[in-house]
Amino acid sequence: MSENNTSLIRFDSIVKKFPDVLANDHVSFDIEEGTIHSLLGENGAGKTTLMNVLYGLYEQEEGTIYLRGQEKIIDSPTKAIELGIGMVHQHFKLVSSHTVIENIALGLKTASTMRPTKEIERKLVELAAQYGLDVDPRAKIWQLSAGEKQRVEILRALYRGAEILILDEPTSVLTPGETERLFQVLQDMASSGRTIIFISHKLDEVMAISKYITVLRDGRVVDTLKKESTNKRELSKKMVGREVLFDLERKPVDRGDKVLEVGNLSAFNDKGIKAINNLSFDLHEGEILGIAGVAGNGQRELAEVLSGLRKATSGKVFIDGKNLTNASPRSIIDSQVTFIPEDRINQGIVGNLTLNDNVILKSYRKPPFSKGIFINYRAVKEHAQKLIEQFDVKAPGPDTPANLLSGGNIQKLILAREVSLEPKLIIASHPTYGLDVGAAEQIRNLLLTQRENGVAVLLISENLTEITSLSDRIAVIYEGQLMGLVNREEATRSELGMMMAGTRIEQITHDQV
Amino acid sequence: MGKSLPIKITERPNPSGLVIIGVSFLALLSAFLVASFVFWAYGTNPIVAYRALFSGAFGGTYELSETIRRAIPLLLAGVGLAIAFKAQFWNIGAEGQLLLGTIAATWVALFSPVPKPLMIPAMFFFGFLAGAAWGLIPAILKSKLGINDVITTLMMNYIAINFVLFLVQGPWKGEHQWGFPYTDKFPQAARLSTIGTTHVHWLTLVIGVLAAILIYILINQTTPGYEIKVLGSNPSAGRFAGMSYVKTTILVMFFSGGLAGMAGVGEIAGIHHMLRNPSELSLGYGYTAIIVAWLARKNPLAVILTAFFFGAIFSGGDALKVSIGLPFQITDVFNGLILFFLIGSEILMNYKIEWRKA
């Protein structure tokens, strides 16, 4: 190993496995002291996993972490904090009924016996002033905005003496103004010698504040680059990759009647912010329409509105000529629409019930599975057996609880169930997210088969390669708005990448070539 | 220096039947072990105490009949709680629902124009409806407005208790009871027959066993039962599949409250034959039924066994009081300890503990 004096942290061949995924696959790179170093990658690329290893929340299976050239075993967050590492998680870890001071005090090993909060408050105000992280120390957490809570998290890390600060997708909860302010704080901290590790999948942000950028994809380091010597286009190419999809055979299919028509659709997210904004598109029989975009740009809300779980604030949804705007989930299911949900474990299956119970999740009220109020479990079992064989679901048998299956097999089970309902329209959200290559290919082939059978498929995915290789047309959304809709032949990767980063299709041809 | 524990805890997603039975048995054993210290603190040899408990519960025909008598209300209320817990509705209100059953039965027996031959069926029918209505209030509050079910069901118990007290001290106070806070005695047509000289009102027992079987079939063989299972295990998957949480919750509490109400009818028509102070009517059956359903792991058929088990603790507790002179509250100590260890052992079912390799 080469000795590098400027390296503060060195990841050497870190491997972290989860039951179905290799989350970090021999990750090696260096982080220099006093810099802002970004980790860039799509969801599931392994960024957060790697940082959880550094922060002591996970233990790596292989590999070593060096801190200032010394090997360190970090087996708990306490150890990480002792070593001067602090982490601000994507979801805040604050006690909302307590004050800011009390949250800072939580877990502190030492505090003066007499009036400890005074001491904390004094130090807190000092730290806050130093970095412009102003927040009322006596306010209760629930009274604070997301941006203020984040400042409390950062202050807590600094209070505990963090020299290295990890921020996991810190801007996902912030308004543009708050984001700018955060960037100023981070830059001040870096210039005063602290090291910032910034996790993001947003190209603009990464280009705005980093000195170094490490791109991760499928758990592996693609490259570590200096900000000055790269650009957004190169980064997006590295981030999305050029993975070749084998065995995908797209037969020409004549597109048929219109199945889905979405007109000027808008809806709010859970926080009451507009998440989809005036979306319009249509989808025909025998066609796959890909919805591309970086996660969190309205994909989930779109799928929820189409499935009846979220109310649209304006606009319309027509399915097979019927107005199903804001219809109930059941009437949408009854119109032969099926879903492959984004969160397959929580929305797609009932984990502790058997495969028998899971295959009839949507058809349990229909013959042959039920007669009157009684379920005919013999017919159900036969059906489950048939689907298991036909869709090659690896399972000991139909009586197995669904949560004992691997992610890929759960997804095959869901797809088998949904396809067996003979749908006119399939809405597939991130259907191969987190699956290994083999399972992903099978799922993609199943979607193509459905297309050949004349089914309309709405494919929502962050995986650009998947979108471009499956779709007939591609719509790109950014902050809930349509950036452009192109035919598959006309789509170039870099154009799609630009649209995903928020450039409208009309603007691309002029200023970027 | 941060030190790591020498053990590693990993998830066990689907504990096998053997694990569940083993862990439950371990919990019971621990409860009995800790209870021995209580006996010992009273200056009683635990072995002597357990022997008295056992013979008090199973020692002879009379003892056994007392065990069964206690098991009857626990069975009906326990089956009702099993279905509620299956749907993840935390019904702590069986006690109040049971008392509503006794109120409805009293009304039928003393104040209604129901003809004599129909009296008993009418008491069970209205008892069921009254318990169900009491259960539906929290069901609607939770499913429509998201109000915490534990709190509402629990609070409804106190309303029911005070309502009974109001009735027996006020409008329904008996004319032939020398000023005691009782209603008048039920007419003969409103009393359940018992087996021989025992207190076993066999009709309620039969209804209880039938209820256990029917609820088992409802949960495992029917479409509403399927919805209960799905919504109880993964509500968002159920919603995604178009199921109605509101409808299912109302259905579940209709049965849950109704069965507890029937338990109340059995107690008042089989044993007391009048409405009186709630603490004399019920002995906390509605609360003990929570433990009964929990120990049965929400399986209505297993409730038949666990209700019998807790019936034995009640009648054995009686014997401890008589033969050794221990306070009757010893049964509450038992119940508390058993529930404590059962809930505490839940984690052992869902997680494995392994020693970390050095």
pLDDT of residue A473: 94
Does residue A499 sit at the B interface (CB-CB below 8 Å)? no
Chain A nearest C-alpha distance from B153 (Å): 26
Does residue A57 sit at the B interface (CB-CB below 8 Å)? no
Higher pLDDT, A132 or B158: B158
Does residue A379 sit at the B interface (CB-CB below 8 Å)? no
Q: Please state the rounded mean pLDDT for residues B296-322.
A: 92
Chain B nearest C-alpha distance from A179 (Å): 33
Q: Best residue in A330, A358, A361, A421 to probe B by mutation, most B CBs within 10 Å?
A: A361
Instruction: Please determine, for residue A307, whether its predicted confidence score (pLDDT) is greater than 70.
Output: yes
Partners of B8 on chain A (C-beta within 8 Å) are: none
Does residue A371 sit at the B interface (CB-CB below 8 Å)? no
Q: Which residues of B lie inside 8 Å of A (Cβ-Cβ)?
A: 1-2, 4, 13-14, 221-226, 229-230, 233-234, 236-243
Chain A nearest C-alpha distance from B18 (Å): 16
Which residue from A307, A348, A375 is facing B226, i.e. has the nearest CB? Answer: A375
Q: Please state the rounded mean pLDDT for residues B289-300.
A: 93
Residue A163, amino acid: E
Q: How many CB pairs (< 8 A) connect A and B?
A: 81
In this predicted model, what pLDDT tens digit does every residue of A145-186 receive, in sequence order? 888 888 999 999 999 889 999 999 888 777 667 888 899 999
Q: How far apart are CA B61 and CA B72, in angstroms?
A: 17
Q: Quick one: what percent of chain B has pLDDT higher than 90?
A: 71
In this predicted model, what pLDDT tens digit does every residue of A24-72 receive, in sequence order? 999 999 999 999 999 998 767 888 899 999 999 888 989 999 999 999 9
Query: Kind of pairing, strands A220-226 and A62-67?
Result: unpaired
Partners of A347 on chain B (C-beta within 8 Å) are: 236-237, 240
**DSSP assignment of A208-250:** HH-SEEEEEETTEEEEEEEGGG--HHHHHHHHH-----TT---
In this predicted model, what pLDDT tens digit does every residue of B231-267 receive, in sequence order? 999 998 998 898 999 999 999 999 999 999 999 999 9
CB atoms within 10 A of CB B308: 19
Chain A nearest C-alpha distance from B237 (Å): 4
Which residue from B1, B14, B223 is facing A365, i.e. has the nearest CB? Answer: B223
Does residue A1 sit at the B interface (CB-CB below 8 Å)? no
Partners of A337 on chain B (C-beta within 8 Å) are: none
Chain B nearest C-alpha distance from A53 (Å): 15
Does residue A307 sit at the B interface (CB-CB below 8 Å)? yes
pLDDT of residue A508: 75
Q: How far apart are CA A69 and CA A71, in angstroms?
A: 7
Partners of B242 on chain A (C-beta within 8 Å) are: 308, 328-330, 332-333, 362
Does residue A365 sit at the B interface (CB-CB below 8 Å)? yes
Q: Best residue in B3, B19, B223, B356 to probe A by mutation, most A CBs within 10 Å?
A: B223
**Helix, strand, coil shares of chain A as percentages rounded to 5?**
35, 25, 35
Which residue from B14, B229, B241 is facing A362, i.e. has the nearest CB? Answer: B241
pLDDT of residue B356: 63
Cα-based torsion angle of the residue sequence B222, B227, B229, B230 in order, rounded to the nearest 10 degrees? 140
Cα atoms in the Cβ-side hemisphere of radius 13 Å centred on B228:
28
Partners of B14 on chain A (C-beta within 8 Å) are: 352, 401, 403-404
Instruction: Please determine, for residue B8, whether its predicted confidence score (pLDDT) is greater than 80.
Output: no
Out of A3-17, A370-384, B69-83, B276-290, pick the least confident: A3-17
Chain A nearest C-alpha distance from B245 (Å): 12
Place of tokens 């209820």: B211
pTM, two decimal places: 0.76
Higher pLDDT, B155 or A368: B155
Does residue A52 sit at the B interface (CB-CB below 8 Å)? no
Q: How far apart are CA B336 and CA B313, in angstroms?
A: 12
Q: How far apart are CA A180 and CA A290, in angstroms?
A: 32
Those residues whose C-beta lies under 8 Å from the C-beta of residue A315, and which sit 6 or more positions away, are A262, A263, A264, A265, A266, A278, A279, A280, A325
pLDDT of residue B174: 87
Instruction: Please determine, for residue A276, whether its predicted confidence score (pLDDT) is greater than 70.
Output: yes
Instruction: Please determine, for residue A205, whether its predicted confidence score (pLDDT) is greater than 70.
Output: yes
Partners of A333 on chain B (C-beta within 8 Å) are: 241-242
pLDDT of residue A2: 43
Three-state DSSP class for residue A376: coil
Out of A232-236, A355-359, A469-473, B276-280, pick the least confident: A232-236
Which among A7, A38, A44, A468 is positioned nearest to A235, based on CA atoms? A38
Chain A nearest C-alpha distance from B297 (Å): 14
Residue B115, amino acid: P
Q: What are the tokens at A329?
A: 């989930």
CB atoms within 10 A of CB B230: 25
Which residue from A82, A308, A375 is facing B2, i.e. has the nearest CB? Answer: A82
Burial of A7 (0-12, 13-18, 19+ CB in 10 A): middle
Partners of A352 on chain B (C-beta within 8 Å) are: 13-14, 233
In this predicted model, what pLDDT tens digit does every residue of B37-77 receive, in sequence order? 988 988 889 999 899 989 999 999 999 999 999 999 999 99
Q: How confident is the model at residue A19 (pLDDT cuts 50, 70, 90)?
A: low
Q: Best residue in A55, A335, A347, A350 to probe B by mutation, most B CBs within 10 Å?
A: A350
Q: How far apart are CA A235 and CA A211, in angstroms?
A: 14
Q: Do B13 and A361 touch (CB under 8 A)?
A: no
| Structural domains present in chain A | 7-240 (3.40.50.300), 243-336+423-513 (3.40.50.300), 346-422 (no CATH)
Q: Do B239 and A329 touch (CB under 8 A)?
A: yes
Chain A nearest C-alpha distance from B9 (Å): 13
A344, closest residue in chain B (CA to CA): B237
Does residue A83 sit at the B interface (CB-CB below 8 Å)? no
Those residues whose C-beta lies under 8 Å from the C-beta of residue A378, and which sit 6 or more positions away, are none
Burial of A84 (0-12, 13-18, 19+ CB in 10 A): middle
Measured in degrees and rounded to the nearest 5, phi and psi for residue A356 equal -50, -55
Chain A nearest C-alpha distance from B60 (Å): 43
Chain B nearest C-alpha distance from A347 (Å): 4
Which among B104, B168, B102, B90 is positioned nearest to B135, based on CA atoms? B90
pLDDT of residue A243: 53
Write down how long chain A is: 513
Q: How far apart are CA A395 and CA A392, in angstroms?
A: 9
Cα-based torsion angle of the residue sequence A76, A79, A80, A86 in order, rounded to the nearest 10 degrees? 100
B279 and B162 in contact (C-beta within 8 Å)? Answer: no
Residue B310, amino acid: F
Partners of A75 on chain B (C-beta within 8 Å) are: 2, 4
Instruction: Please determine, for residue A1, whether its predicted confidence score (pLDDT) is greater than 70.
Output: no
> How far is residue A6 from each of residues A10, A35, B339, measured CA to CA in Å?
10, 11, 59
* ipTM > 0.90, yes or no: no
Instruction: Please determine, for residue A200, whether its predicted confidence score (pLDDT) is greater than 90.
Output: no
Q: Best residue in B5, B221, B226 to probe A by mutation, most A CBs within 10 Å?
A: B226
Mean pLDDT of chain B: 91
Which residue from A353, A365, A404 is facing B233, i.e. has the nearest CB? Answer: A353
Q: How confident is the model at residue B358 (pLDDT cuts 50, 70, 90)?
A: very low
Higher pLDDT, B17 or A298: A298
B14, closest residue in chain A (CA to CA): A352
pLDDT of residue B296: 92
Q: Do B230 and A401 touch (CB under 8 A)?
A: no
A222 and A241 in contact (C-beta within 8 Å)? Answer: yes
Chain A nearest C-alpha distance from B23 (Å): 19
Q: What is the DSSP letter of B185?
A: P
Partners of B356 on chain A (C-beta within 8 Å) are: none
Number of H helices, E strands in chain A: 17, 22
Q: How confident is the model at residue A342 (pLDDT cuts 50, 70, 90)?
A: confident
pLDDT of residue A247: 55
Q: What are the tokens at A26?
A: 């021999």
Q: How confident is the model at residue A142 (pLDDT cuts 50, 70, 90)?
A: confident
Q: How confident is the model at residue B342 (pLDDT cuts 50, 70, 90)?
A: confident
Which residue from B4, B233, B242 is facing A352, i.e. has the nearest CB? Answer: B233
Q: Quick one: what percent of chain A has pLDDT higher than 90?
A: 50
Q: Please state the rounded mean pLDDT for residues B83-91.
A: 96
Q: Please state the rounded mean pLDDT for residues B121-133.
A: 98
Instruction: Please determine, for residue A440, whether its predicted confidence score (pLDDT) is greater than 90.
Output: no
Q: Do B239 and A309 touch (CB under 8 A)?
A: yes
Edge-to-edge order in the sheet of strand A473-478: A337-340, A425-429, A456-461, A288-292, A473-478, A481-487
Give the angle subtended at the CA of B174 by the CAs of B170 and B179, to the nearest 5°: 80
Does residue A495 sit at the B interface (CB-CB below 8 Å)? no
Q: Do A350 and B238 touch (CB under 8 A)?
A: yes
Chain A nearest C-alpha distance from B222 (Å): 4
